[in-house]
Amino acid sequence: MSELAFEYRMHSDFHRPIFNHAFRLMLLPPDTGRQKVLHLEAEIAPKSWISQGQDGFGNRYFYGTAVEGHSTFTACVRGTVQTGLEGPEDDADPILYTIPTPTTAPGPSAISLYQSVNAPDGADAMARAECLMAALRRNLQYVPGVTDTTSSSEAALRQGSGVCQDFTQVLLTLCRMDGIPARYVAGMVIGEGKTHAWAEVWSDGAWHGLDPTWGRRVNGDYIELCHGRDCRDCLLNRGVYAGPAMENQMITVSVKNV
């Protein structure tokens, strides 16, 4: 069990003022069987109408509107989370996470990779998922900037490169092909200055985290922000605004032991 202090800071500059800026920030860590939020505070500027909501997966978020013209937008969420717990599971239906989505649907590359994997006879879902994770890591290299949030697992496999989002979505694809419920998790981890993504697979009546980017099981170094079917369900920052402005955005994340 660990106590982790985190800070997520996003700052956007616009080259000219924008108006009627509606935003949604999925930056509220949930209480789960594996983590408990001990302290949380948020600062959002400019001053806006703001409230909190919850999506169909149980993820909480801030949402609001900054009506007046502004050339910068800043959101900072910080807090302390207890991790590495062994509490009860959430009530999500694992069957939901066996269904392919547009970004996790298997194509020729995924099918070929899946057929090359031989899990030990009698292996449970977690052991099979770890075999699939090892196989994808032999076929993917970590290369930033070659994909975006619309990229599919098949596209990442075809080019042989991607980031944590792509490693996770490829694992989801392979697990679902094997009949293993698997979901996408977005959050933070010690040792990175940015957000991270990993997978959770359903095995023996519980969710178990696997980080295919680093090839390991998820432990108390991780803080979950949200989960869903794929990366599109877990976009941490979404918004629309009026005004023909270009945006320059910078995000920094800090996670450390208390």
Distance from C-alpha of 188 to C-alpha of 77, rounded to nearest angstrom: 12
Burial, 232: exposed, middle or buried (Cβ in 10 Å; 0-12, 13-18, 19+)?
A: middle
Q: How do residues 222-232 score in pLDDT, each as one tens digit? A: 999 999 999 99
Which tens digits make up the pLDDT trace of 199-241? Answer: 999 998 899 999 999 999 999 999 999 999 999 999 999 999 9
What's the CATH fold of domain 94-234?
Answer: C8orf32 fold (3.10.620)
pLDDT digits over 58-77, tens only? 999 999 999 999 999 999 99
Q: What are phi and psi of 156, to 5 degrees?
A: -65, -45
pLDDT tens readout for residues 74-109: 999 999 999 999 877 776 789 999 999 999 999 999
Instruction: Using pLDDT thresholds of 50, 70 and 90, give the confidence band for residue 128.
Output: very high
CATH topology agreement for domains 2-86+236-257 and 94-234: no
Under the banding of pLDDT at 50, 70 and 90, the label for residue 49 is: confident
CATH architecture of 2-86+236-257: Sandwich (2.60)
Domain ranges in the chain are 2-86+236-257, 94-234
pTM of the model: 0.94
